Amino acid sequence: MLETLLTHVASAAEATGETTEASGDIMSSLGIDWQMLAFQIIGFALIVFLLGKFVFPILLRSIDERNAKIEEGLKAAREAEDNATKAQSKIDDQLAEARREAKEIVATAKDEATAMLSKADEKAKQNAKHVLDQAHDEISKEVIAAKKALHNETLELVASATERVIGKTHSAKADKAVIAEALKGADK
């Protein structure tokens, strides 16, 4: 089996050897033909020229356009990001300003409320004092009136008691004069 294969291989090698000998050089045994080589070089150079002139510039332009679009998109995204950052910082500033103003308003309101409260308190105190003074006056007047009434009543009681003690009735006018005189003497 192997022998058969080897025989075939050997005969093929022999045939190749003969061909090489006949052609006289390795180039022709490898199939290299200068005419063919020149034809292939010119043919392929022509392909490169045609494609390089008419097709590849279009494809390269499309790549450039796509890259430009991508670059543009990235630039727009970057700008949008910058704008968003700026807007955010503006919002933050405005919020901080609003907070500061709100604090100021609250502080002012607190001050005003405190002032109003103290004013109201003062007014209330003044009102209370006024009411108290009025009350004191009225009480004093009432005390004086009560004292006067009590004085008169006491005079009557004394007259009545004296009348009963002495059993003799005097006229009221005479009694009052006697009592008043007695009281004056007592006061002295």
Partner 1 sequence: MLNQFASTGLHIEVKTSVLFHVGEFGVTNGMLTGIVGMIIFLAIFFYVGRKVKRGQSNRLVQIVQWAFEGMYGQIEQIIPDKKIARGIAPLALSIFFFVLISYWMSVLPGLDSIKWNDAPVLRSVTADLNFTFALAILSLIATQWYAIRQLGHIGNLKRYFRNPIKDPIGAFEGVLELIGEFSRYTALSLRLFGNAFAGEVLLVVMVVLTSYGALITLPVFIAFEMFIGVIQAYIFFILTVIFTYLAVQHHGDEHSDHSASPVPSGDEQK
Q: Which stretch binds partner 1 (CB under 8 A): 53-61, 91-99, 110-118, 149-157?
A: 53-61
In whole angstroms, the minimum distance from the beta carbon of 73 to partner 1 comes to 17
Q: In whole angstroms, what is the distance from residue 130 CA to residue 142 CA?
A: 18
In whole angstroms, the minimum distance from the beta carbon of 77 to partner 1 comes to 22
Q: In whole angstroms, what is the distance from residue 54 CA to residue 60 CA?
A: 11
Those residues with Cβ within 8 angstroms of residue 158's Cβ, 6 or more apart along the chain or in another chain: 179
Q: In whole angstroms, what is the distance from residue 21 CA to residue 85 CA?
A: 83
* Single residue of 10, 13, 60, 113 touching partner 1 by CB under 8 A: 60
Q: In whole angstroms, what is the distance from residue 174 CA to residue 170 CA?
A: 6
145 to 80, 119, 141, 150, 158: CA distances (angstroms): 94, 38, 6, 8, 20
73 binds partner 1, rule: CB under 8 A: no
185 binds partner 1, rule: CB under 8 A: no
Q: Which stretch binds partner 1 (CB under 8 A): 26-34, 78-86, 94-102, 160-168?
A: 26-34
Closer Cβ to partner 1, 49 or 116, answer by number: 49
50 binds partner 1, rule: CB under 8 A: yes
Q: In whole angstroms, what is the distance from residue 41 CA to residue 49 CA?
A: 12
End-to-end CA distance of the chain: 179
Closest by CA to 154, choosing from 173, 171, 176, is 176
Q: In whole angstroms, what is the distance from residue 132 CA to residue 140 CA?
A: 12
Closer Cβ to partner 1, 60 or 98, answer by number: 60
In whole angstroms, the minimum distance from the beta carbon of 11 to partner 1 comes to 10
22 binds partner 1, rule: CB under 8 A: no
Q: Which stretch binds partner 1 (CB under 8 A): 52-60, 123-131, 136-144, 149-157?
A: 52-60
In whole angstroms, the minimum distance from the beta carbon of 69 to partner 1 comes to 13
Residues near partner 1, by CB under 8 A: 1-2, 4-5, 7-8, 12, 28-33, 35-37, 39-41, 43-45, 47-52, 54-56, 58-60, 62-63
